[in-house]
Amino acid sequence: MAERLAASGLAANGRARANDALGGRGVSMSNEQAGLRIRLLAYLLDSVVLFAFTMLFATASFLNIFLRSDYGEGHVSDGAGWTSVAILMAAIPAWLAANLALLSGRGQTVGQYVLGLGVVTEAGVPPRLGRLVLYWLALHPLLYHPVFSGFWLLFAFAALGLSENAFAVAASLAIALLCLLAPLGGLLFASLDPRRRAIHDRLAGIRVVHLA
């Protein structure tokens, strides 16, 4: 009985600290675990934001080719081709940085904000930057996203055509495959987990909860 009361006290203290921290961001935390359906909806909303985000880089990449090929009339040099690939691939670390900033500042992605969700650690406190980096690199479906599979396939094609680097081709093809499989794997893992935690949740020790 005493152990149960002590554990309840520790949990309450953790929630209070989390509410204090999140209160500075204009929200407060509920201890209710987010279900699979609402998390999937948040993922779809974030995917719309991701598509718009990547279109900015795709436009810049296209303009680089267009302007450096005499407005589409001339030959595209290897340098111009690699520059366009680099611009396009820059969307991936930029997307990571943008979401780390959002989660560090508010504890929410855009989709989670719309649906009233947020992220906390297993102890119920806001996660620190190092844990958030692990959370995103550990097969997070918004970083390993089908949208990015096209980027990695383009990189593989460029590496094959411009430099014939076999390692770069194989690595980019492998990551492109992960971008297709990670969301499906995360969904399957979360559907089988009693607490609806995906792979990246478990590896980083983070929970997605409802915000009061």
What are the residue boundaries of the structural domains of the chain, listed by start?
A: 2-211
3-state SS assignment for residue 25: coil
pLDDT at position 67: 86
Tell me the whole-structure pTM to 2 decimals: 0.82
- pLDDT tens-digit profile, the chain (212 residues): 444 434 444 444 444 444 444 544 544 556 689 999 999 999 999 999 999 999 999 999 999 888 887 666 667 677 778 899 899 999 999 999 999 999 999 999 999 999 999 999 999 999 999 999 999 999 999 999 999 999 999 899 888 876 677 888 999 999 999 999 999 999 999 999 988 899 999 999 999 999 87
pLDDT at position 43: 97
Whether 15 and 29 have beta carbons less than 8 Å apart is answered as: yes
How many CA within 13 A on the CB side of residue 181? 6
3-state SS assignment for residue 32: strand
Dig out the tokens for 21 from the structure: 């921290």
